[in-house]
Amino acid sequence: MRLISYNLRKHRAAGELAGLVDRYGIDVLCLQECDTTDIPESIAGLCLADSTQRNRLGLAVYYRANTYRPVGIRSLALKKSLHDMVLKPAEERLLGVRLHDIDSGRDVVVGSFHAAPLTALNSLRRHQIRTALAELEALGQGLPTLMVGDYNYPVFKENLGQKVREQGYELSLSDSRTYTRYRFFRGHYDFATSVGFDIERVRTLPQGLSDHLPILVTARVSSDAAVGVA
- 69 domain residue, yes or no: yes
Confidence grade of residue 73 (pLDDT, cut at 50, 70, 90):
very high
Instruction: Report pLDDT for 180.
Output: 82
Per the document, the length of the chain is 230
Boundaries of domain holding 110 = 2-221
8 A C-beta contact, residue 33 and residue 7: yes
Residue 16 CA to chain centroid, in angstroms?
Answer: 18
State the total domains in the chain: 1
Confidence class for position 89, pLDDT limits 50, 70, 90: low
What 3-state DSSP class applies to 63? strand
Kindly tell me the sign of the dihedral angle through the C-alpha atoms of 128, 133, 137, 139: positive
The three-class DSSP label of residue 10 is: coil
DSSP 186-215: -B--EEEEEESEEEEEEEEPPP-SSSBPPE
CA 147 to CA 98: how far, in whole Å?
A: 12
Does residue 75 lie in a domain region?
A: yes
pLDDT at 86: 45
* Residue 223: predicted pLDDT: 84
Average pLDDT score over the chain: 90
* 155/121: higher pLDDT: 121
Predicted confidence (pLDDT) at residue 216 exceeds the cutoff of 60 = yes
The CA distance from 145 to 136, in Å, is 7
Asked if residue 227 belongs to a domain, the reply is: no
Least confident among 85-94, 114-123, 127-136, 185-194: 85-94
pLDDT surpasses 90 at 181: no
* Residue 32, domain CATH: 3.60.10.10
Q: Give the angle subtended at the CA of 95 by the CAs of 90 and 100, to the nearest 5°.
A: 170
Residue 229 placed within a domain: no
Contacts of 62 (CB under 8 A, 6+ apart): 28, 29, 31, 42, 43, 46, 47, 48, 49
Give the global pTM.
0.92
Binned at pLDDT 50, 70 and 90, residue 205 comes out as very high
Using alpha carbons only, what angle is made at residue 72 by residues 71 and 74, rounded to the nearest 5 degrees?
160
- What pLDDT shows up at residue 79? 60
Kindly state whether residue 54 falls inside one of the protein's structural domains. yes
pLDDT at 43 over 80: yes
Higher-pLDDT residue of 229, 15? 15
The answer to whether position 70 is within a domain reads yes
Torsion angle of C-alpha atoms 201, 13, 57, 211, degrees rounded to 10? 70
Q: Are 71 and 230 in contact (CB under 8 A)?
A: yes
In a domain, 228, yes or no: no
Conformational region of residue 218, where left means phi above 0, alpha means psi within -120 to 50, and beta covers everything else = beta
CB 38 within 8 A of CB 74: no
149 to 185, 190, 212, 219, 230: CA distances (angstroms) = 17, 5, 10, 15, 26
* Contact status, residue 30 vs residue 193, Cβ threshold 8 Å: no
Quick check: is 226 in a domain?
Answer: no
Give the pLDDT of residue 41.
Answer: 98
pLDDT of the residue at 129: 93
Among 45-59, 138-152, 185-199, 214-228, the least confident range: 214-228
SS3 61: strand
